[in-house]
């Protein structure tokens, strides 16, 4: 492919729609400031199509502008999913053949995060978006530790259940707490000598899959991940003998 630009209503017009708030009172100066800002962002022919005061100290803008930048999709680095999406019977079969027993999965939300919505979406029978959770898979034994579980508790559970996989979820975060908390679990597992024999998976809406290496996790799942993707990944990891058990 060649260089492309956003498509508004004609090829290569580069039109982008955007909105933001400036911390200043509504005025002609505010409008000109918004235009100047967008010029600096690399937009041409920018227009303010809507401008509204939010109280005496803020102004909200809706704008359009043509970007001066372009992209060649062939030269963009992408990490494609490197495992096939499998149906439940196939997941179960791979586990049965690979392990000769059920796969033990321990899941937890760690740190200050009390929101189990992501963890439950992946683990609970009910699942998420019409996709059944890991509890639904006959060959998986799921231990859902819930919210605010400490790394030490995770290590203890991993030992007592002889877990094969650990899933750590972080939903609500501020100031990169989600990254810190994932690192704490990895370090605790490493210190206990459990890290290497486990499949360690992290997930949550603020993560992207590219972060796996930096976090020292085998896989990171981001926003909108369905349980079947996680199940397929775990089965794939076992089939490819990530586990020696």
- Residues contributing to the site for another protein (CB under 8 A): 19-21, 52, 54-58, 60, 112-117, 120, 124-126, 146-148, 172-174, 177, 205, 223-224
- β-bridge partners, 131: 128
User: Given the complex with another protein, which of 43 and 61 has the nearer CB atom?
Assistant: 61
Q: Which of 105, 128, 108 is nearest to 119 (CA)?
A: 108
Does the annotation count 132 as an active-site position? no
CA torsion sign, 23 to 26 to 29 to 30? positive
User: Given the complex with another protein, which of 168 and 198 has the nearer CB atom?
Assistant: 168
User: Given the complex with another protein, which of 59 and 228 has the nearer CB atom?
Assistant: 59
Where do we find the tokens 């597992």?
Answer: 189
User: Given the complex with another protein, which of 26 and 198 has the nearer CB atom?
Assistant: 26
Tell me if 113 sits within 8 A of 171, measured CB to CB: yes
Tell me if 183 sits within 8 A of 216, measured CB to CB: yes
User: Given the complex with another protein, which of 34 and 95 has the nearer CB atom?
Assistant: 34
Least distance in angstroms from the C-beta of 67 to another protein: 20
CA torsion sign, 96 to 98 to 103 to 109? negative
Distance of CA 55 to the CA centre of its chain: 35
Least distance in angstroms from the C-beta of 209 to another protein: 17
Least distance in angstroms from the C-beta of 125 to another protein: 8
3-state helix, strand, coil in the chain (%, to 5): 35, 25, 40
Distances (CA, A) of 79 to 76, 82, 105, 180: 10, 8, 25, 24
Question: 27 phi and psi, to 5 degrees?
Answer: -175, 170
Least distance in angstroms from the C-beta of 188 to another protein: 19
Q: Dmax of the chain from CA atoms? A: 72
Q: Which of 52, 100, 126, 132 is labelled catalytic?
A: 126
Least distance in angstroms from the C-beta of 120 to another protein: 7
Active site residues: 126
């Amino acid at each position: 492919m060649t260089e492309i630009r956003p498509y508004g209503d004609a090829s290569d017009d580069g039109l982008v729609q955007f909105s933001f708030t400036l911390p200043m009172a509504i005025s002609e100066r505010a409008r000109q400031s918004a235009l100047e800002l967008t010029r600096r962002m690399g937009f041409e022919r920018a227009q303010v199509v809507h401008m509204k005061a939010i109280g005496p100290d803020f102004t909200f803008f809706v704008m359009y502008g043509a970007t001066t930048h372009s992209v060649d999709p062939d030269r963009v680095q992408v990490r494609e999913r490197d495992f096939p999406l499998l149906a439940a019977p196939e997941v179960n079969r791979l586990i049965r053949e690979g392990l000769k027993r059920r796969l033990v999965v321990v899941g937890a939300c760690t740190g200050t995060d009390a929101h189990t919505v992501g963890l439950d979406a992946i683990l609970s029978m009910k699942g998420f978006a019409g996709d059944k959770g890991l509890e639904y898979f006959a060959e998986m034994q799921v231990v859902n530790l819930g919210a605010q579980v400490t790394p030490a508790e995770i290590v203890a559970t991993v030992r007592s259940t002889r877990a094969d996989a650990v899933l750590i979820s972080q939903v609500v975060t501020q100031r990169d707490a989600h990254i810190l908390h994932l690192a704490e679990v990895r370090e605790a597992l490493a210190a206990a000598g459990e890290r290497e024999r486990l499949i360690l998976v992290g997930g949550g809406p603020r993560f992207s899959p590219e972060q796996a290496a930096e976090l020292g996790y085998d896989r990171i799942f981001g926003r909108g991940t369905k349980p079947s993707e996680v199940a397929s990944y775990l089965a794939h990891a076992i089939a490819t003998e990530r586990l020696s058990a």
